Every structure is written in structure tokens, then in C-alpha cells.
Structure 1
Amino acid sequence: MHWKGTLNLQSELQEVHRVPAAPFAGYAIGIIAVNLNYPKLPGNVANATTFPFPVLYEVVEFEIEELFAGSAEIEKQIITAAEKLAHRGVRAIVGACGYFGHFQQVVAEAVDVPVFMSSISQVPLIKLGLKPQQKILTLVASGEDITAEFFQKSGAQLKDCLICEIGSLASFAPIRWGKTELNNQQLTLDLVTTVQEQLAEYPEIGAILLECSDLPPYACALQQATGLAVFDFITLIHWVYTSVVQRPYHGYF
């Protein structure tokens, strides 16, 4: 019976699969990214070498402040970008900025693949792993645009987090304002110092979440300095990828 089952499985794997014609294949994750000109280090969502699997980008053209604010004027462009990615065969779509969360619901409604527009969507799962009194230190690029409604669009609760804006750091300015030179060492030190100060003031912090898609390159340094679990866009994308590209297990028993 065991051998027969194996034969049946092999037969199923050899079936012909028909899919819509496309110019290329194998991109499971589609990423919507704003066209911004600044250094994008490995670890950045907009740097393809960040990932051990191929990703497909679709670029949108508007000011980042419009995305921070969730402007209705850019909604159609974002939906169109998601539709293009879905048509090209991606199995899931993410955004390359946490503030794409403003459009989580409308994009999910527009396409037939899973959509996770913001790193903020991880908050409920992170909170589940903490003690009831613990909070998630959340580093954001624009504190003034963080509201309870914004969190709710990503299925999260603002009350579960302590918000820390890093967009005003001088070393973050090249990213925030689109400059072409970045002092990576200084930004690393500033982020570590900022987080350590937050931990000293708020001992209830139990984990760290990086809203910004430019911050994953610093996740390791933050973890080494604090010993805490650090979540970011890359943890989200890897989680999504492994769910839409399941692989058979090999071994023995």
C-alpha cells in the first residue's frame, strides 16, 4: 500500500499544468515599491539580493509623503500595480513601505492572491508571543502618520505597541529625503542608541518591530544590542514565501 501511494503521488506530479501565458515565471513574491533614489543596502526590501529567492518589483510614482498620509489620490496607481503583479503570476504581494498598509484592504479586494502590504500586519502574531503587559517597540519613519485607524487596516492594534519615530534622525535623512550618500555606520549606532534608550525608559518592551522597509539591514545589530526578537519586512516576506511555495520534505524514519 505504501509503494502504491508513492506511485500515485508521482503520477500526480507529472500532470500537465495549464497557466495563463506570461513572459517569465518563478516569481512567487511581488513587491510594490515607490521610485525613490537613495542607497538601498542588502537587507532593504528594494534590494533584490536581500532574498534567497527571486522577487518581482512593480514601481509606483508618487511622493513618499503621499504614501505616509494614505492619500486617496494614489490608491488607483497602487491597485493597478498589484493587478499587474498578479497578472504576471506572483503568488503573493507585499509593499515596500509600512505605510502601504493604508491600502491593505482595497488591494486585497482587487486581486486573487494573498496581500500583506505592511510589516505592521505582524503585530497580532508578535503580541501573541508576549506577556499580556509587554509591548512591541515599533520604529517608524513618520510618527505623525501613525493612528489607530492605520493600524486597524493591517489587522493590528496600536495599543499593543510603543511608537518610536526614527525619521527625524540626522543619519536617516539620506533615506527620508532621497539623498545619494548614506553613513551606514552612524545610522547603525544611532538606531542602537535610540532603542537602548527606549528600553531603559520602558522596561515593558518585549519585542521590536521595524515598520520601515529600509530598516532590516540594522535588525541584526539591534538584536545583538538588546537580545530581543526583531521583526521586520523580511521576516514577513519569508513567512509569506514559505506558505505559497511549499516544498516536499526528504529524510527517513
Structure 2
Amino acid sequence: MRITGGKAVYGASVGILMLEARFPRILGDMGNAGTWDFPVLYRVVRDASPDRVVRKGGEGLLPAFIEAARSLEADGADGITTNCGFLALFQEELASSVSIPVLTSSLMQVRAVNAMLPKGKRAGVLTISRSTLTPGHLAAAGVPEGTPIGTTEGGAHFTEAILGDAPDLDPALAEEDNVSAAMALVRANPEIGAIVLECTNMTPYASAIRSATGLPVFSMVTFVNWFQGAIRPRRWSVDLH
């Protein structure tokens, strides 16, 4: 049997475009390789700080993200994702710049989650920065107008630790902020039947949010696991006897 090459790296089907940040990447964070049950390829986009992407709209960064996406494809990625939901703004341009699937934002799940829910129920979104999550971000991700949105902004620790790229993170305080914000979102919108976490750094607290609210919680990790299952389907052995 002849095997033809072409990739620089084999066995890692998902490439992740990373913001440049130094805050701790705890287990459950996309930037912690231990989060994944499969190998991934990372590419850090220099100067793409959390503050610049989330609070300043990623202005001037699109060429660097396109270059990094093309680099991941050249190295062997079969699909590309990112570690910031606010990069939904770049979805169309990134998808057009490579020949493999691109998944920029957890927000892209909202319509699918809505389709799963009983009549009268809909998804709510929890974001790290409601003040800078614009209609443009939501439209780029296909989020329906009027979707309820809650935020950890104004909390004791989480938003400022991540967007300020703090050298230290207190997971207990971060969890408290996320749970409190999720509970406030649900109290204000009793029609919510599931929560979609916009911020990829919220994933470590998904279980606590689920326990507190009793609702399904969708994150970028659940989304990328689905994504990876499509670009690298499991091979089943069939016993016909």
C-alpha cells in the first residue's frame, strides 16, 4: 500500500487560533491542551489581546488572523476554530481565506439550540462583555434578534481577570461570577431553556452553571467536540457474525 503525504503535522485535525494572553489557562479552557480528548494544533495571533479583540472590535487584526488560519491549514489542520466568541466578526472572511471549515464563535450554536427546545423556550447567551457585544457580532453568528443576554461584566473577578490579562486567576471567584450572572439571566428571562456560553474561558464553570440553573449549558468546548467529530469521524469496526 502506498501512502501519500502533504501535511507537516499528522493526527491533529483541529487547529485553534489563540488570542495572545498570559492569564492562567486552567483545565476546561481551550488553551489548555488537557481539555481535549484529541490532539489539537495551536497558533497564537500576536498582538491579539483579549482587550483588543473583545473591547475594541479586533480592529486591524483580520490580516493576522487570516495568515494564521492559512498557516494552520498548511500545517495539516482539517478544520479551524478560535478561542474567542467575539471573533464571529471575522467568520465570513476567515472561512473564505482557507479551503477547510472554520468555526469562529460559540454564538453560532444559538439557532441550533433553539431548534432543540420545547415550544415557548429559547436559548440565552452568557457573555464576558455585554457592553461591547454588538448587533454586528450577533448577526455575524446568526443569533436571532431579541435573544436574552447576560454577562459577568461588573462581577467581582472573572471579566477583569480575563480581559485585563491578569497574571493570577481565582477559579472560585470566577465560578461565583459565572453562576451569579447565569442565575440573573434566567431569573430575568423565565423562557430560557438552555444557556450558550459566548466566552471560551467560561467552560470550566459550565458544570456549576448547569447545577445552579438546572438547564443544559452549551460552550465552545461542546461545539468543537461536535466539529471535530465531523471532520474526523470515529471509525467503527463492524462484526457481522
Report the TM-score, using the length of structure 2 for normalisation: 0.92
| Aligned 8 A contact 1:147 1:158 in 2 | no
Q: Please state if 1:165 is matched with 2:151.
A: yes
Letter in 2 for 1:40: R
Identity %: 29
Q: CA deviation at 1:249?
A: 1.8
Moved more, 188-197 or 121-130: 188-197
Aligned to 1:46: 31
Partner in structure 1 of residue 218 of structure 2: 231
Q: Quote how far apart the aligned CAs of 1:194 are.
A: 2.4
In 1, Cα distance between the equivalents of 2:137 and 2:179? 26
Give the Cα separation in 1 of the matches to 2:181 and 2:153. 12
Residue number in structure 2 paired with 1:82: 69
Rounded Cα–Cα distance in structure 2 between residues aligned with 1:130 and 1:145: 28
Q: Distance in 2 between matches of 1:249 and 1:25?
A: 20
Q: What is the rounded CA distance, in whole Å, between the counterparts of 2:178 and 2:7 in structure 1?
A: 46
Q: Give yes or no for contact 2:150–2:184 (8 Å, CA) kept in 1.
A: no
Checking the alignment, whether the CA contact within 8 Å between 2:14 and 2:40 is kept in structure 1 is: yes
Query: Is 1:120 aligned to 2:82, yes or no?
Result: no
1:142 Cα offset (Å): 1.5
1:28 corresponds in structure 2 to 13
Matches within 5 A, 1:82-121: 82-121=69-108
SS of 2:60 mapped into structure 1: helix
Q: What residue in structure 2 maps to residue 154 of structure 1?
A: 141
Preserved CA contact (<8 Å) 1:79 1:110: yes
- Against the structure 1 CA distance between its residues 145 and 132, is the aligned structure 2 distance closer, same or farther, given a 3 Å change threshold? farther
Q: Kindly provide the amino acid, as one letter, of the partner of residue 164 in structure 1.
A: G
Q: Equivalent residue for 1:191?
A: 178
| 1:110 shift after superposition | 0.3
Query: Tell me, which stretches of 5 or more residues in structure 2 are unaligned?
Result: none
What 5-or-longer segments of structure 1 have no aligned partner? 1-14
Query: Aligned partners of 1:166 and 1:177: how far apart in 2?
Result: 14
Which one has a bigger Cα radius of gyration? 1
Q: Output the amino acid matched with 2:20.
A: N
Q: Which moved more, 1:187-196 or 1:218-227?
A: 187-196
* CA-based RMSD: 1.7
Cα offset, 1:83, TM superposition: 0.4
1:55 aligns with 2:34: no
Distance 2:235 2:10 in 1: 20
Q: How many Å separate the matches in 1 of 2:187 and 2:111?
A: 24
Matched, 1:250 2:241: no
1:119-148: per-residue Cα shift (whole Å, max 9, x none)? 111111101112343232211112122233
State the alpha-carbon separation in 1 of the partners of residues 234 and 123 from structure 2: 32
Contact map agreement 2:151 2:181 (CA 8 A) in 1? no
